[in-house]
Structure 1
């Protein structure tokens, strides 16, 4: 159930970028988040959008131990080499790393995919505005625009009603302590069923708020996505 307990109005916001994955579907020779878009590693486009939101106190990028690719020198950005085998594990470790630099359980954390490099400061601000007084928190999401099919052996079995279906995006914004507790409850089973932060909160009995996002806030996943992302970035300059 949603907890209506009041929280401190002075709670801060932090951003956490899990950046320890390999992106095997992207067809790149190295981690996709380091692929160049307009001459800049993809993750730096992502980070720039988050750092443009002045309400965010810190942006922490969680990388794999031994990954020395990323160098950050700003006062609000930090690299934490504590990435795990899965996204959920990286986020779980990243939350602890945020605590170690002063983040508190009542603070908000916005977890964002490093490969969603087209998010805009306006979208991040809209999420913060929508969630800052919410008892649970929420996520950017997009109403499903297409007809949805269920299949077996590459054959359609049925058309699924899309009326209440949404595509989850990021950032996903929750209280530090609540998200850490939700992930800790699933650590023993290897974070099974935790595909994003909202799913961890759902397993804890919460109902995250859906905040309308944008079709441009897609996750760069497949080889053809790089050209599209680069074209959109170029159009914005």
Structure 2
């Protein structure tokens, strides 16, 4: 049977957080943010190894204690200039079998729950393509013009907000990222090959920490056990 691995690209700086410390290391509920992401992935018994892809000049990683995760956590200092480049570099460095599954998850989604992760794996383990966690868009969407005025209202019918983890076969994802290196998520690269990844319903609690005010919400979810 194919093995399941996870990969967390963490070579960025998170410029929108307006912080000298890279976003993945910002303190959150008593740990650096990325700790919570890694803890959920490492706790899943079906995940064989969790790879974290770091910048080659990362000076923060060794300042923290990761011993709780043992050998299940492996760091790769081969991060690229973009998320897609970091994932591609990590894939090549990990040297996985082409049929192995790879879960790619954002370091800045610390509120991923064990149930969400298990649901994704169960939904995709026999899928021919793979897929992603996502939520249907509930808000009305407005398209802006060049003067930041509403140009028109977009239909939200059938529109989903992509999340991570995104789960694909290592061989397929490797091929996809090599032909579509400028994508913002892994599913977009797989789509460029003509495939249609599956959408697996998630929760808004699995949001991406992007701005300073997001830290407070993530702290609340983590400390009060509100991850869904």
TM-score tier, shorter chain, comes to over 0.9
In structure 2, the partner of 1:123 is: 116
Pairing 1:42–2:38 present: no
Residue 219 of structure 1, CA deviation? 0.4
Please give the alpha-carbon distance, in whole angstroms, between the structure 2 residues aligned to 1:167 and 1:128: 19
Name 2:45's counterpart in structure 1. 54
Superposition misfits of 4+ residues, deviation over 3 angstroms: none
Partner of 1:79: 75
Q: Once the 2 structures are TM-superposed, how far is the Cα of residue 68 of structure 1 from its aligned partner?
A: 3.7
- Distance in structure 2 (CA, Å) of the matches to 1:36 and 1:78: 22
Cα distance in 2 for residues equivalent to 1:156 and 1:65: 43
Alignment correspondent of 2:85: 89
Q: Which residue of 1 aligns with 2:15?
A: 24
Scaled by the length of structure 2, what TM-score is found?
A: 0.94
Correspondence 1:160-175 to 2 at 5 A: 160-175=154-169
Unaligned runs of 5+ in 1: 1-9
Residue 26 of structure 1 and its aligned partner are, at CA, apart by 1.0
Q: CA separation in 2, counterparts of 1:29 and 1:64? A: 16
Which of 211, 224, 227 lines up with 1:235 in the alignment? 224
- Residue among 123, 131, 136 paired with 2:129: 136
8 Å Cα contact 1:70/1:79 also seen in 2: no
Query: How many pairs does the alignment contain?
Result: 220
Backbone CA RMSD of aligned residues = 1.1
What is the TM-score of this pair, normalised by structure 1?
0.91
1:125-144 deviations in whole A, cap 9, x for unaligned?
Answer: 10011111110000000100
Counterpart-to-counterpart distance in 1, 2:120 and 2:144: 34
Cα distance in 1 between the residues matched to 2:60 and 2:19 = 16
Aligned counterpart in structure 2 of residue 179 of structure 1, from 170, 173, 194: 173
